[in-house]
C-alpha cells in the first residue's frame, strides 16, 4: 500500500530565510522552518484567513499576505519564539498604531502575529533622497520613544553591562590597533552613561527597510525588537543605512534635535551600538564593519561639540 502524498503548502519558504534560520537560530531555526507549513495552516484556520499572495520574509520571520473573513487585508507573521520576539506584541499594543503597524491578533506561545498590512513593495529605502528618509526615521522615532518602557521587558542596562563584560576578550582577538582603539573608546563611552540607561520603549531595529509605505499614514514602522532604554541607542540604523561619509554628522544632529536628545549623551549611546554590532561580528567570526568604525570615529571627534 503506497503512502498518501502530502499536499504541497500554499506558499514557498524562501531559501534566504532557510539559510538565515539555520545559521543564526540553529536548532530552533531548523525546527521553525520544518514546522512552518503546519503553523501557517493552524493560524489560517484559527483566525479565518485566506492567503492572497506569495510569502515574504526578513532575516527572522516569514510573512504571508492574507485577507480576514470580512475582506480586510492583513499579514500573518511567523517567527521563532525567543527573547527577540517575546515582547513584540506588547510593544505593538503599547504603540497602538502610532507610527507603526497595528497588532490585530497574537498567539503568545509561538509569537505568531496578525498585523495590519502596509505596502510590502515600497520601503523607505526606495526614497531617493537619503536626508528625506532620515527625516522620516526621526519623526517615527520621536513618536515611538515617547512611550514609557513597560516593566519586565529587556533593558538596555543589562545589555550594556554584558557588552562591557565581553569587551576585554574581544579586544584580544582584534589585530588592527586602530580598530582596538575605537572599540576601547566605545567601551569607555558606555561606562560613562551606564548609570542612566533610560526608560523609553525602543524599536532597536528601525532601518530603512523596516519602514513601509501605508495608507493610514504615509509611513509605518514594522518588525520591532523592543527594548527599554535611552533613545540614543535607537539612532544607529539611520546613520549606517546607505552610508555616506559626509552625512554622518548631519544625520546625527537632525535625529538628536528631532528627538530632543542631549547630543553628547546620544553620541555615547550610539557608540554603544557600534560596540554591540562589533561584538556580534567578533562572535560570528566576521570582520569588523568599516562603516561602523567610521561612524564611531566621527562621533568620537565631535560628540562634545
Catalytic residue set:
205
For residue 149, count CB atoms less than 10 angstroms from its CB and return exposed for 0-12, middle for 13-18, buried for 19 or more: buried
With residue 126 as reference, give the H or E element that holds it: none
Pairing label, strands 61-67, 50-51: antiparallel
For residue 23, count CB atoms less than 10 angstroms from its CB and return exposed for 0-12, middle for 13-18, buried for 19 or more: exposed
164: three-class secondary structure by DSSP: helix
Number of neighbouring beta carbons within 10 Å of residue 15: 9
- Cα-atom radius of gyration of the chain, to the nearest Å? 20
Compute the distance between CA of residue 86 and CA of residue 273 in angstroms, rounded to an integer. Answer: 22
**What are the start-end ranges of the H helices in 85-145?**
88-95, 130-144
Helix-helix angle 263-284:248-259, to 10 degrees: 120
Pairing label, strands 73-79, 103-107: unpaired
With residue 151 as reference, give the H or E element that holds it: none
Compute the distance between CA of residue 261 and CA of residue 264 in angstroms, rounded to an integer. Answer: 9
**Assigned C-alpha cell, 126:** 526606495
* Nearest alpha-carbon partner for 240 in 180, 294, 286: 294
Compute the distance between CA of residue 207 and CA of residue 211 in angstroms, rounded to an integer. Answer: 7
Beta pairing partners, 51: 66
Amino acid at each position: 500500500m503506497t503512502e498518501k502524498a502530502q499536499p504541497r503548502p500554499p506558499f514557498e519558504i524562501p531559501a534566504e530565510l532557510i539559510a538565515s534560520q539555520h545559521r543564526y537560530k540553529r536548532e530552533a531555526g531548523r525546527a521553525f522552518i520544518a514546522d512552518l507549513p503546519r503553523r501557517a495552516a493552524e493560524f489560517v484556520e484559527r483566525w479565518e484567513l485566506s492567503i492572497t499572495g506569495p510569502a515574504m520574509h526578513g532575516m527572522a520571520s516569514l510573512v504571508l499576505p492574507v485577507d480576514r473573513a470580512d475582506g480586510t487585508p492583513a499579514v500573518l507573521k511567523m517567527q521563532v519564539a525567543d527573547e527577540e520576539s517575546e515582547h513584540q506584541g506588547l510593544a505593538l499594543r503599547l504603540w497602538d498604531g502610532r507610527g507603526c503597524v497595528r497588532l490585530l491578533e497574537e498567539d503568545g506561545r509561538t509569537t505568531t502575529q496578525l498585523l495590519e498590512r502596509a505596502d510590502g513593495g515600497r520601503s523607505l529605502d526606495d526614497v531617493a533622497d537619503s536626508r528625506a528618509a532620515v527625516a522620516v526615521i526621526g519623526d517615527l522615532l520621536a513618536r515611538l520613544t515617547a512611550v514609557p518602557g513597560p516593566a519586565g521587558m529587556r533593558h538596555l542596562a543589562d545589555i550594556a553591562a554584558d557588552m562591557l563584560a565581553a569587551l576585554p576578550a574581544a579586544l584580544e582577538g582584534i589585530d588592527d590597533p586602530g580598530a582596538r582603539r575605537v572599540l576601547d573608546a566605545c567601551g569607555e563611552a558606555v561606562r560613562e552613561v551606564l548609570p542612566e540607561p533610560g526608560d523609553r520603549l525602543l524599536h532597536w531595529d528601525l532601518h530603512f527597510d523596516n519602514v513601509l509605505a501605508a495608507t493610514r499614514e504615509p509611513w509605518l514602522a514594522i518588525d520591532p525588537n523592543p527594548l527599554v532604554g535611552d533613545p540614543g541607542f535607537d539612532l544607529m540604523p539611520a546613520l549606517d543605512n546607505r552610508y555616506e561619509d559626509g552625512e554622518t554628522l548631519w544625520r546625527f544632529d537632525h535625529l538628536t534635535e528631532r528627538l530632543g536628545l542631549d547630543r553628547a549623551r546620544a553620541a555615547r549611546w550610539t557608540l554603544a551600538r557600534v560596540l554591540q554590532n562589533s561584538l556580534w561580528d567578533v562572535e560570528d567570526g566576521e570582520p569588523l564593519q568599516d562603516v561602523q568604525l567610521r561612524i564611531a570615529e566621527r562621533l568620537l571627534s565631535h560628540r562634545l561639540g
